[in-house]
Amino acid sequence: MDMALPVVNATAAALARVSAAFNAPFARAVVFGVHIDGHLVVEGLLITVIVFQLSRKSYKPPKKPLTEKEIDELCDEWEPEPLCPPIKEGGRIDTPMLESDEGVQWAVQNGLHLSRSTVVYFKHNDMASLASTLEKLTRGNKRAEKIRRYIVVESIYQNSGQIAPLDEIVKLKEKYRFRVILEESHSFGVLGKSGRGLAEHYGVPIEKIDIITAGMGNALATDGGFCTGSVRVVDHQRLSSAGYVFSASLPPYLATAAVSAVNYLEENPSVLTNLRSNIAALHKELSDTPGLEISSHILSPIVFLKLKKLTGSPATDLDLLETIAERVLKEDSVFIVTSKKSNLDRCRLPLGIRLFVSAGHTESDISMLSSSLKRVSASVLSDYL
């Protein structure tokens, strides 16, 4: 109101001046008995202008098609308006940061890629490399605490048979304020006093592991998988996972088979004892295999044998290993596999022969495998011994 009052007063004063200017010439003018003053003249002029504007025809540009040159010029000059305003510094959402071991299997690599996160790899099972990388990522980062940051590791690496040092990883996680995603497909039902996995094996409280994932096709002998963690993580997974969104949840019979396998494992702890005995026996039998050496952990059910002397060509190494696998299968009906990788696989760990040990194997099974593998390896790798 305070600002409008001066404007009104100024307008009134201006009209008064205009009226006074017209009042002087028409001070004594009378037309048809009507006294003519300045106000009447001004109002008449305004009405004339209004009628003139209303009676004018609107301008219509000629309907002439644009030339190709004019179209190109208009396209070059056109600047589309943004659909959303620019994001301010305080409202920017950084992409999650995933710190992963370079030896993770292809399924984990694919998950890292599909997450659309910033992925940084550290050397395989090298805690010094992990600490150095975490230090570089967090140094001078003012938004470090707001970024979703995870360390992604496998409990037992499928590509090497090594076990992740979870106790050291948890210390680094707490120091640099990262979270941990632990893939336990090959350790669930294997490691720990009761087979609960890597956390039980190292005595690390399960609360310190933020997310645990595992496939149920190994120790549980069924299909599907699970992802678990805190109540907050579980609630988020229930509403956001593919099983809920796309109605592709685990069939009841597979879930029942998994529950039965867990119950059997709890009721028969001797299964774990048999498994560890078989692993130790196989390590002992294969310790002097010609041309091959065991590089996996003594508790890993994945017994990994790599060439003692590399040829310098991954293709040649793979040919030698596949020749051994084919001859063992053909001559003794023992099925073993090589760690063959696709061109998309980022893992650059040495190739080798991968053996999977179970609690159901007998001493004769282990003995037959060992003797067959030793004989064939000595024959195939005779030039590399």
pLDDT in tens, 287-310: 999 999 999 999 999 999 999 998
Residue 189 has pLDDT above 70, yes or no: yes
Share of the chain above pLDDT 90, in %: 55
Q: Average pLDDT of 258-274?
A: 94
Average confidence (pLDDT) over 333-350: 89
Higher pLDDT pick, 1 / 258: 258
What was the pLDDT predicted at 23?
A: 56
Position 64 pLDDT exceeds 90: no
Sheet with 211-215, side-by-side order of all strands: 118-122, 97-101, 149-154, 179-183, 211-215, 225-229
Mean pLDDT of the chain: 85
**Lowest mean pLDDT, pick from 29-43, 150-164, 270-284:** 29-43
Contact 181, 213 (CB under 8 A): yes
| Whole-number pLDDT of residue 126 | 94
- CB-neighbour burial class of residue 149 (10 A; exposed 0-12, middle 13-18, buried 19+): buried
Percent of the chain at pLDDT above 70?
82
Q: Is residue 379 pLDDT above 80, yes or no?
A: yes
| Residue 126: both structure tokens together | 């090298």
How would you write the chain as a 3-class SS string?
Answer: CCCHHHHHHHHHHHHHHHHHHHHCCCCCCEECCEECCHHHHHHHHHHHHHHHHHHCCCCCCCCCCCCHHHHHHHHHHCCCCCCCCCCCHHHCCCCCEEEEECCCCHHHHHHHHHCCCEEEEECCCCHHHHHHHHHHHHCCCCCHHHCCEEEEEECECCCCCCECCHHHHHHHHHHHCCEEEEECCCCCCCCCCCCCCHHHHHCCCHHHCCEEEEECCCCCCCCCEEEEECHHHHHHHHHHCHHHHCCCCCCHHHHHHHHHHHHHHHHCCHHHHHHHHHHHHHHHHHCCCCCEEECCCCCCCEEEEEECCCCCCHHHHHHHHHHHHHHHHHHHCCCCEECCCCCCCCCCCCCEEEEECCCCCCHHHHHHHHHHHHHHHHHHCHHHC
Residue given tokens 């069939």 in the structure block: 251
Whether pLDDT at 236 is above 60: yes
Which of the residue ranges 72-76, 91-95, 120-124, 178-182 would you say has the lowest mean pLDDT? 91-95
Q: Between the CA of residue 181 and those of 89, 104, 110, 155, 276, what are the distances in Å? A: 29, 12, 15, 10, 26
Q: What token pair was written down for 141? A: 């980062």
pLDDT for 365 equals 94
- The residue that leads in pLDDT, 59 or 313, is 313
- Return the closest-CA partner of residue 190 out of 156, 153, 229: 156
Q: pLDDT (tens digit, 9 = 90+) per residue, 201-214?
A: 999 999 999 999 99
pLDDT at residue number 48: 83
27-40 pLDDT, tens digit per residue, is 455 555 555 565 66
Q: Is 80 exceeded by the pLDDT of residue 360?
A: yes
pLDDT higher than 70, residue 258: yes
Amino acid identity at 281: A
Give the number of C-alpha atoms closer than 13 A to the C-alpha of residue 14, restricted to the C-beta side.
6
pLDDT given for residue 247 in this prediction: 59
Looking up tokens 């620019």, which residue turns up?
86
Q: How far apart are CA 79 and CA 129, in angstroms?
A: 48
Region 193-206 average pLDDT: 94
Range of lowest pLDDT (50-59, 182-191, 267-276): 50-59
Render pLDDT for 316-329 as a digit per residue (tens, 0 to 9): 999 999 999 999 99
Domains of the chain, each with CATH number or no CATH? 19-50 (no CATH), 95-267 (3.40.640.10), 270-384 (3.90.1150.10)
Average pLDDT over residues 163-176: 95
Please determine, for residue 12, whether its predicted confidence score (pLDDT) is greater than 90.
Answer: no
Phi-psi group of 7: left, alpha or beta (phi > 0 → left; psi -120 to 50 → alpha; rest → beta): alpha
Q: In degrees rounded to 5, what are phi and psi of residue 364?
A: -65, -35
Strongest mean pLDDT among 35-49, 106-120, 159-173: 159-173
